[in-house]
Chains A and B, each alone.
Chain A
Amino acid sequence: MEGDDKDRNIRILHSGVLTPLRRWGTKWSLWPCHFVTSCCGVELAHAFACGFDGERLGTLNMGISRQANFIIVEGTITRKMARALRIVWEQMPDPKFVNVIGACGQRGGIFWNSYNITRPSEIVPVDFFIPGCPITPEGLLRGVRAVQEKIEGRDRTTIKFKTAALPSEEGKENRIPTTAKIFAPTPAIRVDVPKEVDWDFGREMVKNLKAQLGDVYKSITITDKNRIAIKTTPENLVKVARKLSDTMGIDHAKNVNVIDVPHERKFIVEYMVSSYREELMPVIITIFTEIGREAEPVLSSLTALWESGDYSEREMHDFFGIRFEGNEGMNRKFLLAPETETPLRKDFKLEEERYVLEDGTPFAPAIELPSDLKMPLSEGLLEEAEKSDDFVVLIGPHHTGSGHLRWIMRMKGDVIVDVIPDPGYVHRSMEKLAENRLYIQNIPLFERANISDPINMNLGYVRAIEKALGIEVPERAKYIRTMMAELSRMGAFFYDSGIFSLFTGHSTGFMYVWAIREMILEAIVRMTGSRCTPSFIIPGGIRRDISDDVLNMTSNFTSAVNKRLQKFEDIFIYNPVFVARAKGVGVLTREEAIRYGIVGPFLRASGVDYDIRKVEPYEVYDKLDWEVTTGDAGDCLGRYMGRYEEIKQSLRILKQAVDALKEMPRGDVISEEVLGEYKEASKDIKGHLFHAYGNLVLPRGEWTSVIEAGRGTLLYSILSDGESNVPYRVRVVTPCWMNLRGIIEASKGERVADFWTIYGSFGYFPPEADR
């Protein structure tokens, strides 16, 4: 903003008497303010945990802006968050320093043309930029050192390039190629493209459905195995839903999706619903209808039947401007900043890539900053709270215990009356960006949704593509994928354990699991070359085979982890104080858990035996020996213990997968079907990634994959028009987004301090929820 000068702080330090003391004191006492804005926060935590221990340099992480003098901006600053960044910066006492880590905070990284990001350097004066996505802990500490040196008076970039001469023999003038993306001019959009599959149960079911629904449906199609699409009219939507709910026991909505088809002047609204009745578990029924493409079309909400669709409906209201009659959240922007208008409509255009460097600066779109610094509360909230004598506290988005979203907590004394979430502080518009990128380019994009569980994020997306193309993955690649997915699941659990222990005030628990995470990351970096964002799984297999050394190391890990895990158990899990804190708190019964749409281990903790790895097995989960863990308690401790037991099962799976891999002869790791002409690359994609995948086009139709990610059901739904090499629409429903509702419902009526126990027990990861 105007008037900010990045050297002002240095001048403050160098003025007045005792300058050397001022400089020395500040140099060794840079306390970073806790500004975890997105995924780089995971690596920040690694930098300050036992693996690298940033405290060595005198940088003690401090949650409170008044007492800190250093902001480490961890990646994306969205429009909503921009306000918080400026406020926090202004709250801090002089002299203060700002480092920006991660590409998102510089020129946007993979989100460079997103509608919801801003550049921190335009909001606050930035001292140093550290590249990476995410940065490594070393990079972060290098940034700290750079600031220390700047305080001493040596302000410098820590890399020096040498300029070499380029070949200068005269060549011919060349034409600049056009974009690699192919868009169909009038895409043919159809959600229910029929497919012949070997699925008798489905055909039977369609027959029954037709009989039961009578005249309220338009058509019923089998689109894939375990996938049925029911077309209906907007008026009959509720009737169809009610019939399904009453007669078949369809009890939850997995997804609410809207597809904009401007050239046909319509929106397709679809609900993907399913049931936790055992025989129906793998089946996903898509109920869809078409409504006119107006400024604010109206459709009746299905939240009365399936509350689990509540937040997704609100999200669709933000994205497309569709009003769901009957949903209470239609009066305010839920996920987006107030100034953003219906960005997912097709006429909202993003900046296109430029492939030629012009005038010496890389292309980055102009970004407008939010004009005011206040995020509005919903109307009448404060007045109402005052009337009922409640105390309202705003927690976050910058708060040690908030994560990157805002919680509006109403309390009466020490008891929580209501918690209202205000998400979207890390909403980076992945769904919109995915519509403008090649299929292959979306792999790193979706991985960024959750870098504490990157491989599952990656796997889910790739599986949707494979499903569409009907590719069989080579055996070896399947085992490697399973192995990596389990490592990633453990990574997610240990991440959540760490955050949980911090939320209950136990920093040792955090450090102990972070040491284990450091081991997992070491295994992943040796396999893939990247600590947190491997982008390793590609359609048809994996990028390359992994070495025997790494397999041995992973195998050793399964037993080496026990020593540290035992200590963690003693000091944290079975610590009587922790048990007292978590036991009997935030109970969700089986019915409540299903109604609010909780997924994954948190649903299993309430007694639902639903794990996609068993229900609809993928990769090699059906060949390995392991068990699903469930529980009945449904409280914070139950949820946590359930996940802990699940990790022990993961270790079992990991061990078996590694053993199988060690015995397996080396062979292809990428399916030749997808490589086509480039089948020599089936052992290592190096050199041929773009050749083989650049022009990947999916068959027409909607392709939905569900997998069991670290925190629960992860759903990807890709809609392809059959001609473009970019998806027409990608809908991703992440487990954290579904679990958000659970946190709120479990918190009501509990003590204020319990909120953090509940929040921690749900392993909520805001970037994953906001996408």
Chain B
Amino acid sequence: MKKVTVPEQSLGEKVVKHAAAIRVAMKESVYPLTATVFYPRERKKMPDNFRGYLMFDPDKCISCWECAFVCPANAIQMKEAPNKRYYPTVDYGKCIFCHFCVDSCSGGALKTTKIHDVAYKDMGEMLTLTEEMIEEPEIIREDKKLVEYEIDEQDLHLKRTREVDTLFVEVTPPVEIPMVSQCIEPGSCLGCRICEEMCESGAISSIIERQVIKMAIDRDKCTGCGLCVKECSMQILRLVRK
């Protein structure tokens, strides 16, 4: 335990402290430790893991809806594409940039960019549709220099370089954990075919055998999205290791 005492200042100390305060001001007026980034003429370098605007790659998307499910702000809503699959749209009027969606995207279809300084004149425009998230957007930029914060053992330094930072980063894909849907109790199956209707990759099919509906899961086609598992009315589907 450490007792903290309150400074008692005698007249002499007061004079010394006044002088110290004035000295700081005088010194800073000559050699200031300025730490200002001249945005918009300069741009501060953000790390590659910066959580900014999202980009989307439909080829990697397995339409598992997890981005929409995990979004705490309900900013991601799915929209049906011409191929009848559902892809995410982002409403930046709700998005809180927590990137739970990026961290939930097992295929790595969502990725981050370093875009974060955008002004919209209309709230309606803040909805970004799937087709707009695929290619790199253009933002109005006035920066000619890049500023990087460097902290060494002495102080904070601003390193300025005359370059224009690219806002799009390469990201490493997530660790692949191949999962597949499996029926653990086929005997309990009602044959409601919800799983078949759910499956966006067409891995689940039904065969009518002697007037009994039997479901089959194509292990190769199954992306392990887990939608069938979630929706199964009898809760007899499980995700297991491939």
Residues of A within 8 A of B (CB): 50-53, 56, 99, 103, 106-110, 112-113, 121, 126-133, 135-139, 141-143, 145-146, 150, 155-180, 353-357, 360-364, 437-438, 440-445, 448, 508, 515, 518-519, 522-523, 525-526, 528-530, 533, 535, 543, 553, 556-557, 559-560, 563-564, 567, 570-571, 574-576, 579, 583, 605, 609, 627-633, 635, 637-638, 641-642, 645, 649, 677-678, 680-681, 683-691, 694
For B124, the chain A residues whose CB sits under 8 A away are: 361
Min distance, Cβ B135 to any Cβ of chain A, angstroms? 4
Docked CA distance A557–B157 (Å): 12
Please give me the residue from chain A that is nearest to B128 by CB atom. A161
Q: In the complex, which residue of chain B has the Cβ closest to the Cβ of A166? A: B81
Contact status B40-A142, CB under 8 Å: yes
The answer, yes or no, to whether B74 is at the interface (CB within 8 Å) is: yes
Contact A677 B239 (CB under 8 A): yes
Q: How far is the CA of A173 from the CA of B118 in the complex (A)?
A: 37
Whether the Cβ atoms of A688 and B174 lie closer than 8 Å is yes
Docked Cα-Cα span, A128 to B122, in Å, equals 7
Chain A residues with Cβ under 8 A from B82's Cβ?
A: 166-168
B68 touches A355 (CB 8 A): yes
Taking the nearest CB of chain A, how far is it from the CB of B132, in angstroms?
4
Count: A-B pairs, CB below 8 Å? 423
Taking a contact as CB atoms under 8 Å apart, the answer to whether B131 and A165 are in contact is yes
- Flag if A103 contacts B77 (CB, 8 Å): no
Residue of A at shortest CB range from B106?
A687
The 8 Å CB contact of B87, one of A166, A353, A360, A525, is A166
Do the beta carbons of B94 and A103 come within 8 Å of each other? yes
Could you tell me if A167 and B137 are in contact, using CB atoms closer than 8 angstroms?
no
**Contact partner, B175, options A143, A564, A638, A687, Cβ 8 Å:** A687
Asked if B79 contacts A357 (CB within 8 A), the reply is yes
Residues of B47-93 at the interface with A, using a CB-CB cut-off of 8 Å, are 47, 49-51, 58-59, 63, 65-66, 68-75, 77-87, 89, 91-93
With A129-B123, A630-B2 as given contacts, are A109 and B130 in contact (CB-CB < 8 Å)? no
Query: Do A110 and B104 touch across chains, with their CB atoms under 8 A apart?
Result: no
Query: Closest CB-CB distance, B24 to chain A, in whole Å?
Result: 5
Contact A686 to B174, CB < 8 A, known contacts A107-B91, A158-B119: yes
Shortest C-beta distance, A642 to chain B (Å), equals 5
Q: Mark B92-119, 1 if CB is under 8 A from A, else 0.
A: 1111111110111111100010011111
Once bound together, how far apart are the Cα atoms of A165 and B87, in whole Å? 13
Complex Cα gap A186–B210 (Å)? 40
Determine which residue in B18, B107, B118, B155 has the highest number of CB atoms from chain A within 10 A of its CB, and name it: B118
Return the contact of B70 from the options A138, A441, A683 (Cβ within 8 A). Answer: A441
CB nearest to B70 among chain A residues: A690
User: Which B-chain residue is minimally distant from A142 (CB atoms)?
Assistant: B117
Query: Which of B3, B140, B173, B176 makes the CB contact (< 8 A) with A158?
Result: B140
A-side contacts of B108, CB under 8 Å:
687
Cα distance A518–B36 when bound, in Å? 10
Q: Is the CB of A645 within 8 A of B50?
A: no
Bound Cα distance from A103 to B93, whole angstroms: 5
Contact A694 B66 (CB under 8 A): yes
A707 to B74, CA, bound (A): 30
Option from B35, B83, B87, B122 in Cβ contact (under 8 Å) with A515? B35
Overall SS of chain B's interface: loop
Q: Is the CB of B1 within 8 A of A559?
A: no
* B interface residues with partner A (beta carbon < 8 Å): 1-7, 9, 14, 17-18, 20-21, 23-25, 28, 33-40, 43-44, 46-47, 49-51, 58-59, 63, 65-66, 68-75, 77-87, 89, 91-100, 102-108, 112, 115-140, 142, 149, 151-156, 173-177, 179, 194, 197-200, 202, 226-227, 230-231, 239-241
* Across the A-B interface, the 10 shortest Cβ-Cβ residue pairs: A687-B174, A133-B96, A161-B132, A106-B93, A690-B104, A175-B197, A131-B92, A107-B93, A362-B91, A146-B119
Chain B residues near A50 (CB-CB < 8 A): 34-36
Could you tell me if B46 and A525 are in contact, using CB atoms closer than 8 angstroms? yes
In the bound complex, do residue B175 and residue A52 qualify as a contact, i.e. CB atoms below 8 Å apart? no
Q: Are A180 and B69 in contact (CB-based, < 8 A)? A: yes
Instruction: Return the contact of A161 from the options B102, B137, B152, B194 (Cβ within 8 A).
Output: B137
Q: Besides the contacts A107-B94, A138-B43, A159-B120, what 7 more A-B pairs have beta carbons closer than 8 Å?
A: A109-B94, A109-B96, A110-B72, A127-B121, A177-B227, A362-B75, A564-B156
Bound form: Cα–Cα A114–B138 in Å: 34
28 sample A-B contacts, Cβ–Cβ < 8 Å, listed by A number: A51-B35, A52-B37, A103-B96, A106-B94, A112-B74, A129-B122, A136-B117, A138-B116, A145-B142, A168-B81, A173-B197, A174-B197, A355-B69, A356-B77, A356-B79, A440-B70, A444-B72, A444-B100, A519-B156, A525-B46, A535-B98, A570-B17, A627-B1, A628-B2, A633-B5, A641-B6, A649-B2, A684-B174
Chain A residues with CB under 8 A of B106: 687-688, 691
In the complex, the chain A residue whose C-beta lies closest to that of B28 is A567
A628 touches which one: B1, B44, B49, B117 (CB < 8 A)?
A: B1
- Chain B, Cβ-Cβ closest to A101: B119
Residue among B6, B66, B99, B155 making CB contact with A583, cutoff 8 Å:
B6
Asked if A178 and B120 sit within 8 Å, CB to CB, the answer is no
Q: Do A641 and B35 touch across chains, with their CB atoms under 8 A apart?
A: no
Question: Distance in Å from the Cβ of A648 to the closest Cβ of chain B?
Answer: 9
User: A633 to B4, alpha carbons, bound, how many Å?
Assistant: 9
Among B7, B72, B149, B154, contact of A441 (Cβ-Cβ < 8 Å): B72
Of chain A, the residue at the smallest CB distance from B139 is A159
Q: Are A519 and B151 in contact (CB under 8 A)?
A: yes
State the CA gap A94–B67 with chains docked (Å). Answer: 44
With contacts A128-B119, A355-B69, A529-B49 taken as known, whether A362 is within 8 angstroms of B127 at the C-beta atoms is yes
Whether A444 lies near B79 (C-beta < 8 A) is: no
Contacting residues, chain B, for A113 (C-beta < 8 A): 74
Chain B residues near A177 (CB-CB < 8 A): 65, 198, 227, 230-231
Determine the chain B residues whose CB is within 8 A of the CB of A553 once the complex forms.
151
B202–A629 CB distance below 8 A: no
Residues in chain A near residue B43, CB distance under 8 A? 138
